[in-house]
């Protein structure tokens, strides 16, 4: 699939299709369903890029500096700045993401079952991103 030039899509159409995506994602009830959606619709590289941006946000919320984030995640200064800008432009985002990350951390501590990432050998490298 070729890259989409976002600004060439009619704004109404963009809102409609993104809204549809949000409706589908918000209806997902399990990690297995999310796995199926992400890895069937996106390439492994796209999933990793999204997961990396989440890790950047997590480290920013933990007050990690740009140099530490760059060293640990091997991302550019620009990517970190973009994620930080997104977080800081709306006070609710940082709070919402922080609460969600805490919820995930609590869930992970209580969970002892094998994840879908363990079942697919070619995706095991992604498990490290979540751990």
CA pair distance 53, 50, nearest whole angstrom = 5
- Contact at 8 Å (CB) between 113 and 122? no
Domain ranges of the chain: 9-41, 43-130
- Contact at 8 Å (CB) between 63 and 94? no
Q: Above 70 in pLDDT, residue 34? A: yes
- Contact at 8 Å (CB) between 28 and 34? yes
Using one digit for the tens of pLDDT, what is the confidence trace for 48-105?
999 999 999 999 999 999 999 999 999 999 999 999 999 888 878 888 888 888 877 7
Residue 112 confidence (pLDDT): 47
CA pair distance 117, 52, nearest whole angstrom = 17
Residue 124 confidence (pLDDT): 59
What are the CA-CA distances from residue 111 to residues 10, 31, 65, 108 (Å)? 44, 12, 31, 5
DSSP assignment letter at 121: G
Using one digit for the tens of pLDDT, what is the confidence trace for 90-126?
878 888 888 888 877 766 665 545 555 555 555 655 6
């Amino acid at each position: 699939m070729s890259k989409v030039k976002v600004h060439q899509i009619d704004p109404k159409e963009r809102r409609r299709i993104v809204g549809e995506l949000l409706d589908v994602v918000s209806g997902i009830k399990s990690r297995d369903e999310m796995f199926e959606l992400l890895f069937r619709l996106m390439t492994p590289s796209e999933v990793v890029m999204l997961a990396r941006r989440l890790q950047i946000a997590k480290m920013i919320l933990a007050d990690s500096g740009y140099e530490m984030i760059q060293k640990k995640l091997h991302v550019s200064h620009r990517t970190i700045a973009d994620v930080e800008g997104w977080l800081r432009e709306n006070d609710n985002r940082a709070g919402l993401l922080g609460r969600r990350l805490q919820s995930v951390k609590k869930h992970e501590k209580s969970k002892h079952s094998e994840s879908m990432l363990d079942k697919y050998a070619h995706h095991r490298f992604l498990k490290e991103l979540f751990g």
